[in-house]
Amino acid sequence: MDRNRRPRQRYRQQSSVLSSRFSVLSHRHDTIHLDYSRVQGAIELVDVVRHFGRFAALRGISANLDSGKLHVILGDNGAGKSTLLRVIAGLLAPTRGRVAVLGTTNLRSVAPQVGFMAHAPLLYDELSAMENLRYFAALYGIYDHQRCAQAIRSVGLDPELTRRVGQYSQGMRQRISLARAVLHDPKLLLLDEPFSNVDVHSARDMARLLGGMRDQGRTIVVVTHQAAIMEPVADESIVMAEGRIVAKERGIPVHLLATQGATR
Amino acid sequence: MSQLVAVARRTLIKDLRLEWRSKDAINSMLFFSLLVVVIFSFSFDPTAEESRRIAGGLIWVAFLFASVVALNQTWARELRNQVLDAYRISPAPANSLFIAKAVGNFLLVTLLEALMAPLFVVFYNLRSIGPEYQLVLVTVLATWALVVNGTFFAAISIRTRSREIMLPLILFPISIPALLAMVDATTQILTGESSPWFWIQLLAVYDVVFTTACLMLFETVLNAE
Amino acid sequence: MKNPVYILAIASLLLLSYGLYQGMVAAPTERTMGEVQRIFYYHVPSAWVAFLLFFVNFIASIWFLLRRNPRVDALAVATAEVGVVFCTIVLVTGPLWARPVWGIWWTWDARLTSTLVLWLIYVSYLVLRQFGTGGQTPVLASALAIFGFLDVPLVYMSIRWFRTQHPQPVIGGGEGSGIHPAMREALMWNFVAFLVFAVLIVFLRYRLEVAEREVESIHAERALTPAEARRNA
């Protein structure tokens, strides 16, 4: 490849190679729909690049995440894990490359089927758990109080609690956040560092809950740097470093347990 | 359409509930504008005639600075705990959020005005020569003018490096036509010297133009990351 | 692409020189104000050029929001910056003119005040550009630019009305109405000269901005080793 050519031109060469390989893709305006007879993935990433000024957070991520599986994304701080998750969630647009979620590149259209959780609780501190959930349920057009109560019970908490969420422990808050994320029965669940600052007991409970959700047929992607907690339920682990995927394994192999998760 | 209104309504109720429980915005707003009133009253010691001339400017300056406090607070609340992400990832329309925030801010600032206006009347011995209903009309249009652009720009500025300082910097220059209108209209009504109708019309045009612009561009601005 | 720069530079030089001659020598001396009035040939064309540049900024901002083409955004930055400079010229030449003629530095007359507000709006745009964090800045700034330009007719109308209510001395007399034809000619020559000069400067600034972004993009693409990435970040 001619190094003197400007980066833009170099990319054009690359993308034509990729599009011939992915001939299953058909175009309609700007939305690309995947032909499911060939492709199984819940999430399809094609050479995703994301720059922040001079810093390249994602440097060409290509991956296919199967549906109905629990994928764990591991890696040190600064590897680009959170950035990747935000791109998949549709919160961050990639500088280049294609992201297809649940069969379409129009991420807005699949929003009702995607749930998101971060290490920040994504809740209002001054509202109680039920009030929080009822509000977020309304955003999805759900006005059924019972469903909210059920979601809270399913994470092991009492919906009758009127205490403000700001007064909960971190473990409880993350549970409520998980309840919020699954309230609308999403097919795809994205979690970004859900266990940080959470006590081990709650973390293990949550991991078990996630495994149960995967068994119900949901696709789950968890970004974490605490591999040990996810080990019992993980189907696949993806290791990232410096904005690239460096390994993809079934489950979480022992050598990863050793290197990922000792530090916070 | 109904989803837009339904979500906006829910968001507004949620915001009002949050405000009622934390009283973040209303307390700082009240205290701030009280300070402004007191400090101004040290600098000016007007007669009744003079006070009618300058009160318009003083009142609106006080409300303008107090509004900035509210505008920043209502967005800061969404950035705490990254809770704005939860909204953005949901299928709820962006404009619902804008409408809810703008209306919420409008109610807050109107509450402030209702509380502060008697104070101004007392401190400056004000009595309007022109008809009072015109004052109400001007106040409604002017408050919306400040709040609609303020809500939009607060959403922009709260995500920059200088956060809360940025809002007055970008809001005030663009609000100058509206500020001119509200100040002069108020002065004209208080002194009864001339008709404020041109200003009222200008405020109405300003409101329509910028409300439209905000509704058209808010989604783009919300999702810029 | 050196050619446009050379052509524009030579054209600017020629036109500005001719404009100078027109304004300082060829145009007749004003009856009441004397030689000081010649500042008019810098004051007014600068205002027109500034306004034109802000209009281009408005179009570029809309275009950027629709197409997200980074070069268009670079044009928006360039026109805003150069527009602010020309606006500053208007605000400086105004008082320079007013002081000898009326004995006051500033008068809140309709044109000067409107220009001041325009200046404030676009300076706030540049401040937002400066303090915005990361990739969202062009989008946010474009939104602000659109609002700013939509505001312009409202600014003029409101200040004009205010001034008819509360009149003050007007700098510059009529806006070319009742103006001597030789003066009008000098005015137009200077307008063309300033316009060509503005295009030159905007082009240079645009090229600079595009080059800066390209450098950033290349840095991001090239950063291969962790050490390099940390150095460049």
Chain C nearest-CA residue for B156: C140
Mutation site, C116, C128, C137, C160, interface B, largest B CB count within 10 A: C128
Amino acid at C17: S
Q: Is C34 left (phi over 0), alpha (psi -120 to 50) or beta?
A: left
Q: How far is C229 from chain A (nearest CA, A)?
A: 7
Test mutation, C221, C224, C230, C231, chain A, max A CBs within 10 A = C221
Q: How many residue contacts between A and B have a Cβ separation below 8 Å?
A: 73
Contact A7 C229 (CB under 8 A): no
User: What strands, in cross-sheet order, belong to the sheet with A96-101?
Assistant: A55-66, A41-52, A96-101
| pLDDT of amino acid C172 | 55
pLDDT value of residue A63: 92
Distance CA A110, CA A8 (A): 30
Length of chain C: 233
Tell me how far apart the alpha carbons of residues A47 and B116 are, in angstroms, rounded to a whole number.
58
Chains that touch A (3 or more CB pairs under 8 A): B, C
State residue A143's pLDDT score.
92
3-state class (DSSP) for residue A51: strand
Measured from the Cβ of residue B50, the count of other Cβ atoms closer than 10 Å reads 12
B48 three-state secondary structure: helix
Are A55 and C134 in contact (CB < 8 Å)?
no
Q: Domains of chain A: which residue ranges?
A: 3-260
C-alpha to C-alpha distance for A31 and A39, rounded to whole angstroms: 16
- Count Cβ atoms below 10 Å from residue C154 Cβ, excluding itself: 22
Q: Which residues contact B190 (CB under 8 A, 6 or more apart)?
A: B52, B53, B55, B56, B126, B128, B129, B130, B135
| Nearest CA distance, B175 vs chain C (angstrom) | 8
- pLDDT of the residue at A6: 47
State mean pLDDT over B8-27: 90
**CA pair distance A233, A212, nearest whole angstrom:** 9
Angle at B69 between CA B107 and CA B104, to 5 degrees: 20
Contact C128, B156 (CB under 8 A): yes
Q: Indicate the class that CATH gives domain A3-260.
A: alpha beta
DSSP summary character for residue C169: P
Task: Compute the nearest-CA separation of A58 from chain C (Å).
Answer: 10
| Contacting residues of B for A88, CB less than 8 Å apart | none
Nearest CA-CA distance, residue B146 and chain C, Å: 13
Q: What is the mean pLDDT of residues B12-30?
A: 89
Round to whole Å and give the CA distance between B184 and B147: 19
Residue of A116, A126, A136 with shortest CB distance to B18 = A126
Closest Cβ opposite residue B14 in set A108, A125, A135: A135
A56 interfacial to chain C (CB closer than 8 Å): yes
Instruction: Output the CA–CA distances (angstroms, integers) from residue A183 to A90, A148, A191, A223, in the order listed.
Output: 19, 7, 14, 20
Question: Minimal Cα–Cα distance from B21 to chain C, Å?
Answer: 32
Q: Nearest CA to CA, how far is A252 from chain B (Å)?
A: 29
CB-CB neighbors (< 8 A) of A90 in chain B: 89
Question: With an 8 Å Cβ cutoff, are C135 and A7 in contact?
Answer: no
- Give pLDDT, residue C229: 55
Q: Which of B170, B189, B191, B215 is most worth mutating to test chain C (most C CB atoms within 10 A of its CB)?
A: B170
DSSP A56: E
What does the alpha-carbon distance between residue C75 and residue C57 come to, in Å, rounded to a whole number? 7
User: Using a CB-CB distance cutoff of 8 angstroms, which residues of chain A are in contact with residue C213?
Assistant: none
Chain B: residue whose CA lies nearest to A125: B81
Chain A positions touching C135 (Cβ under 8 A) are 51-53, 95
B104 vs A contacts (CB less than 8 Å): none
Distance from C-alpha of B29 to C-alpha of B77, rounded to nearest angstrom: 15
Q: Do A122 and B82 touch (CB under 8 A)?
A: yes
Taking only the tens of pLDDT, chain A with its 264 residues reads: 444 444 444 434 333 333 333 333 333 334 554 444 444 578 999 999 998 888 889 998 999 999 999 999 998 888 889 999 999 999 999 988 999 999 888 889 999 999 999 988 899 999 999 999 999 999 999 999 999 999 999 888 888 888 899 899 888 899 999 999 999 999 999 999 988 888 888 888 889 999 999 999 999 999 988 888 888 899 999 999 888 998 888 888 887 777 765 444
Amino acid, res. B10: R
Q: Which candidate, B23, B223, B180, places its Cα nearest to that of B112? A: B23
Q: Do B85 and A118 touch (CB under 8 A)?
A: yes
**Among B16, B15, B18, B111, residue whose Cα is nearest residue B66:** B111
The pLDDT tens digits along chain C (233 residues) read 567 888 888 888 888 888 888 878 777 777 777 777 788 888 889 999 999 999 999 999 999 999 999 999 999 999 999 999 999 999 999 888 888 877 888 877 788 889 999 999 999 999 999 887 777 889 999 999 999 999 999 998 998 888 887 776 665 554 444 677 778 888 888 999 999 999 999 999 999 999 999 998 888 887 655 555 566 55
Q: A140 to chain B: which residues are within 8 Å by CB? A: 90-92
| Calpha distance B80→A16 (Å, rounded) | 43
User: In this predicted structure, what is the pLDDT of residue A202?
Assistant: 84
Q: Can you tell me the distance from the alpha carbon of A111 to that of A31, in angstroms, rounded to the nearest whole number?
A: 15
Look at residue A80 and give its three-state secondary structure. Answer: coil
CA dihedral C177, C180, C182, C184 (to 10 degrees): -10
What is the residue-wise DSSP string for chain A? --TTS-HHHHHHHHHHHHHHHTTT-EEETTEEE--TTT--EEEEEEEEEEEETTEEEEEEEEEEEETT-EEEEE--TTSSHHHHHHHHHTSS--SEEEEEETTBS-GGGGGGGEEEE-SS--S-TTSBHHHHHHHHHHHTT---HHHHHHHHHHTT--TT--SBGGGS-HHHHHHHHHHHHHTT--SEEEEESTTTT--HHHHHHHHHHHHHHHHTT-EEEEE-S-HHHHTTT-SEEEEEETTEEEEEEES--HHHHHHSSS--
Q: Residue B117 burial by CB count (10 A; 0-12/13-18/19+): exposed, middle or buried?
A: middle
Beta strand pairing call for A219-223 and A70-74: parallel
- Kindly report, residue by residue over B33-44, the tens digit of the pLDDT: 888 878 877 777
CA-to-CA distance for B147 and B67, rounded, in angstroms? 8
Choose the mutation target among C157, C159, C160, C164 for the interface with B, i.e. most B CBs under 10 Å.
Answer: C157
Please tell me which of the candidates A6, A54, A242 has its beta carbon nearest to residue C216. A54
Token pair of C179 as six digits? 């103006």
Q: Residue A40: what pLDDT?
A: 54
- What does the buried/exposed string (b/e) look like for A24-43 if buried means 16 or more CB atoms within 10 Å of the residue's CB? ebeeeeeebebeeeeeebbb
| Contact flag A54-C221 (C-beta cutoff 8 Å) | no
Are A73 and A81 contacting, i.e. CB atoms less than 8 angstroms apart? Answer: yes
How far apart are the C-alpha atoms of B157 and B154, rounded to whole Å? Answer: 5
Question: Which pLDDT tens digit goes with each residue over C29-84?
Answer: 777 777 777 888 888 899 999 999 999 999 999 999 999 999 999 999 999 999 99
Q: Find the closest chain B residue to A190 by CA distance.
A: B89
Nearest residue in chain C measured CA to CA from B213:
C147
CA-based R_g, chain C, Å: 21
ipTM: 0.90
* Pairing, β A219-223 against β A236-241: unpaired
| Residue B30 in this model has a pLDDT that exceeds 90 | no
Output the pLDDT for position A201.
86
- Which residue of chain A comes nearest to B86, CA vs CA? A122
Contacts of C232 in chain A (CB under 8 A): 54-55
Interface contact flag, B177 C154, Cβ < 8 Å:
yes
Q: Is the Cβ pair B160, C132 closer than 8 Å?
A: yes
Contacts of B161 in chain C (CB under 8 A): 131-133
